Amino acid sequence: MLFCRCAAGRGAPPAGKRLVISSSDTDWGLATPYLQGRGGMGYMLTHFVFDNLVGQDRNGALAPELARSWQRSADGFHIDITLDPGARWHDGTDLTSADVAFTFDYMARHPHPFVSLANVEAVHPLTDAKLRIDLHEPDAGFVASVLAAIPILPRHIYAGQDTPRRFTDPTAMIGSGPYRLADYDRAKGRYLFAATEAYYRGRQKYDEVMIARLTPEAAIEAAAKGQVDVIADLPNRLVDQAKTRALGVETSASGHPVKLRFDHSGLFAPVQRRQALAFAIDRDALARIAYRGGATAASLGYLQDNSRWYVSGAALEYAHNTDKAAALLLRSGWSRNPQSNLWEASGTPVTLRLVTSTREAAVAQVMKDQLAAFGLDVTIRVLERSALRKMKPGKDYDLILAGGSTLGDPVTIAQRVFGSRWNNEGYTGDGQLRALAEAQARSLDAEHRATLLAEFQHRYSKELPAIMLLNVTRTVAHTPKAAPWFFDEGLTIGIPVATHKYMLLDQ
């Protein structure tokens, strides 16, 4: 769909106060759970239009949204929910527990990329405003990872839609959120959202929100002229320029580090080789050269310091040390050719195949240069993101450089570290690490869970299923008309974005 006028619903107030957000990339799909882009920005758009059961307050803590209250049973197998009686769909239809039950059933049959319902046994509507969710087993992060993440669908619209990813009718964009998609022009990279009437969670700050595609340089000039209010993706190199134009600047570590993943069944099955690369790569230099200071060396314990579950000192640090790296490679069975200084396996020079996307190409080149100086030859293939997702460990690469981790509740760690999806680490080693990941997800005692996660961080840094390289800084600039902010642990399931719907509401 190249162009869409999405005029479903009861209509918005007349155009008045408008907020304009710019981004250099606005190819985020349509604002529905099944037509959104695959990344976090696509989810952000859907979040404008479709509310979740649980939201966030100004500090990022869980707060009522469609669910006015929720209560977990003592044994952790049941969650009782009371819905906000004021919630309505954009077409004026009441939102009830039947819609919630329908959504869980529908998304079990048509999975949403950001929500796993594998632990849901059943959903029981009790009254129009009350329901109970039964779980297969206790789940410490269920509220944060499911109730705060699942966009609730209108049953009267989606019932009978067997191919939701082809459902492009304007009614597909009827939600219960504070805005509705009024206009979309893919060719121009432009979205227009209109405020819905009588939103049950309060008043919107803006009658319209426009998202427009602009380079950061052009956006700074437009902001200086009053044409843009928020620059959603300001590069670190332009921070000073934005400040000279009297723009406010907000920054946050992304919590989704650029990481180096391995083919665990091939060259990097021995842990000594993974540890050797951790010593051989100078992560501080990577941040300084590839990101010009717009990143910091990441913690090697998987979780980063903007997670409330991060434990300082739990992870091993691997300060840059090529002597330690060399000793580990020798222990792993490789040798160093005294004439060429290159590392060899059974007399044959080692060549490492690295794949990455254009986003991490600069990091890949700096890392290649570092490893070349250490005697390891690296070949780089830079691919589009869609092509990178199709790469197979062993067959296509020895190393893959991409972003990803867990921000928000760490209930999904086991899937991310041991899972087989393209952006999972596919680790098949030590069973104790998996046991810790699974145990913390079940523990309903916060102190016990913190202890398990501290041990997980230490053990992860010892085994290195992946090497967390850089925690990249996210930056937005804005005029006094807007007040965007980052949550410490990200939007809902950990999306590091400051242009969320909560900044659009009077709170």
Q: Which residues pair with 83 in a beta bridge?
A: 67
**In the CATH hierarchy, which fold is given to the domain comprising 3-215+479-504?**
D-Maltodextrin-Binding Protein; domain 2 (3.40.190)
d(C-alpha 336, C-alpha 343), whole Å: 4
Predicted local confidence at residue 4, as pLDDT: 53
Residue 10 pLDDT: 41
Q: Which helix (H) or strand (E) holds 78?
A: strand 78-83
- Domain 258-473 architecture: Roll (3.10)
pLDDT of residue 47: 95
Q: How far apart are CA 50 and CA 196, in angstroms?
A: 12
For residues 462-482, give the mean pLDDT.
Answer: 96
- Its pTM stands at 0.88
What local confidence, expressed as pLDDT, does residue 199 receive?
96
- Given a contact cutoff of 8 angstroms between Cβ atoms, the answer to whether 50 and 176 are in contact is yes
More confident position, 263 or 4: 263
Q: If you average pLDDT over every residue of the chain, what do you get?
A: 93
208 neighbors 194 (Cβ within 8 angstroms): yes
Residue 163's Cβ-side half-sphere holds a number of Cα atoms within 13 Å equal to: 4
Specify the pLDDT at position 422: 84
The residue-averaged pLDDT of 309-325 equals: 96
Average pLDDT score over residue span 202-231: 96
Tell me which DSSP letter residue 31 carries.
S
Instruction: Pull the structure tokens for residue 195.
Output: 């405020």
Query: Strand pairing partners for 180?
Result: 194
The mean pLDDT of 206-233, rounded to a whole number, is 97
- Average confidence (pLDDT) over 51-80: 96
CA 366 to centroid of chain Cα atoms: 25
Domain layout of the chain by residue ranges: 3-215+479-504, 258-473
Mean local confidence (pLDDT), 314-323? 97
Is pLDDT at 253 greater than 60 in this prediction? yes
Q: Is residue 3's pLDDT more than 80? A: no
Does 258-473 match 3-215+479-504 at the fold level?
no
Q: b or e along 400-425 (b: 16 or more beta carbons within 10 Å of the residue's beta carbon)?
A: bbbbbbbbbbbbbbbbbbbeeebbbb
Residue that is written with structure tokens 């965007």 in the block: 484
Model confidence at 337: pLDDT above 60: yes
**Are 467 and 239 within 8 A, CB to CB?**
no
Counting every residue written for the chain, the total comes to 507
Predicted pLDDT at 260: 97
- Report the range of poorest mean pLDDT among 196-200, 293-297, 403-407, 472-476: 403-407
Confidence (pLDDT) at 113: 85
Tell which residue, 311, 194, 252, 294, has the closest CA to residue 491.
252
Query: Which tens digit of pLDDT belongs to each residue from 154-178?
Result: 999 999 899 999 999 999 999 999 9
Residue 11 vs residue 53, higher pLDDT: 53
**pLDDT over 70 (residue 69):** yes
